[in-house]
Structure formats: C-alpha cells, structure tokens
Copies of this chain bind each other. A is one copy, B any other.
Amino acid sequence: MIDKSFVSAEAAVADITDGAAVMIGGFGTAGMPEELIDALIARGVRDLTIINNNAGNGESGVAALIREGRVRKIICSFPRQSDSHHFDAAFRAGKIELELVPQGNLAARIQAAGAGLGAIFTPTGYGTLLAEGKETREIDGVHYVFEHPICADFALIKAQRGDRWGNLVYRKTARNFGPIMAMAAKITIAQVTEIVPLGEIDPEVVVTPGIFVQRVVAIAPSATNLEQAA
C-alpha cells in the first residue's frame, strides 16, 4: 500500500541538504507553506536557491529563511515590498544573489520544466533590462526572448486537502504556484490542512494529481492563520 503521508514537517524535509534548489509556493503569505519552511530552517541547511514569487514578508516563512542566512540565491518576480526588510538588508549587504524574473516568465519557465520542454521563446521582457544579453528571435512579427525552464530538487507547497496517493485540492487564491511547482520539482512536499481517505476527493476536481506529489503532511491551521482567515 502506497501512503505518501509523513508524520511531521520535520520528517518530510529531512533529506533537503545544503545547496538544494527549493521551490516554495505562495503569493505573499497565501499558499506559503510556513510550517514546512520552519522545519527547513530548523534543519540548519545553507546555500539554498529559493524559487518563490516574492522574497519574504515580515518575519515568517521565506523572510525567516533569509533572515537566518540560509539563502544563497533567490529567483523571484517581486522581492521589494513594504515588509521585505530581511531580503532588502541581505541584498544590500551583498549576502544574497537575486535573479529577477517577470512573473509570467517565472510561471511559464516552471511550467516548461514540469512539461519536459528544453526551452521556450517568451514575449515578456523583450527590449528590457531583464532580457539583456539573452538570445531573442522574431517570430511572425513579434519579438521573443529565449528562456530556460526552472527546475528544482524540492518543492514545498501548501494545499487544502490531500490523500495518501498525493492528490491535492487547494483553497481560493492560495492555489497560485502550487500546481506548477509540484510538476517541476523532483520531490514535492505538500502541507495540507487535512489528509482525507482515498476517494474522498472527487476525481473530477483533483487539481494536482498524485503523480506530482511525493510527500503529504497534515498541518492543522495555526491560531494565527485561523485568525487571518476568519
């Protein structure tokens, strides 16, 4: 019997090592797998490459990972925010490398990795600083930039419900990058509010099929989250 559920966040991230490339779901805090990130911080690993839309908000999640000095490089679209002070400080101190990627290119490059493409020609960024030095091509009168897929060793994502085969459904806009990151990483670890019996998720509404998910951990929503979601 295949059961992908893990007893704890700590157990689920126990083989993430120094230097790993880790995708982290979420758009701001919506969909951010906070407890998985906490467990990753507790492991003490360093020199991570993090792929996330942002570069942390406030004190938790990706921000905490940066604050603790664990991130060598971040690939993201929107690092600078009113509460991105840990990233800002690390960036200004030269302690973190930034690869700034337009959000749609970020999504498309992650999706390309999950779909096994070798590269894509993307319309976004042509003629801008973010395409400087990159190969371009005109196709049917439109200019495109050559971009590689973004792969990762691990993806840490947050979903609403999961089952022992790894099938996932999400909640509202917390879905965001979860489904495509799950497809692009070698090992996808999903924290879910609830692990339900097999078959309880309607086969028509599964958003992430279990093939894309290697580990599932049930994490009850924290008091803070409940308050936020109230």
Contacts and interface: CB of A to CB of B under 8 A. Distances in A.
Contact of A117 (B116, B120, B170, B202): B120
B121 A139 contact: no
A139 B115 contact: no
A118 to B, nearest CB: 4
A116 B102 CA distance: 14
A176 to B, nearest CB: 14
A191 B180 CA distance: 29
Contacts of A116: 123
Given A169-B204, A204-B205, A205-B205, A119 B148 contact: no
In terms of DSSP, what is the predominant structure of the interface of chain A?
Answer: mixed
Contacts of A119: 120-121, 137, 139, 144
B123 A120 contact: no
Contacts of A118: 120-123, 137, 139-140, 142, 144
A139 to B, nearest CB: 4
Interface in A134-170: 137, 139-140, 142, 144, 148, 169-170
Q: Size class of A's contact patch?
A: 20 to 34
A98 interface: no
A108 interface: yes
A110 to B, nearest CB: 12
Nearest to A123: B116
Contacts of A122: 117-118
A171 B111 CA distance: 25
Interface in A86-129: 108, 111-112, 115-123
A21 to B, nearest CB: 14
Contact of A108 (B117, B123, B170, B205): B117
Contacts of A112: 120
11 contacts: A112-B120, A117-B121, A117-B122, A117-B123, A118-B122, A118-B123, A118-B144, A119-B137, A119-B144, A170-B204, A171-B204
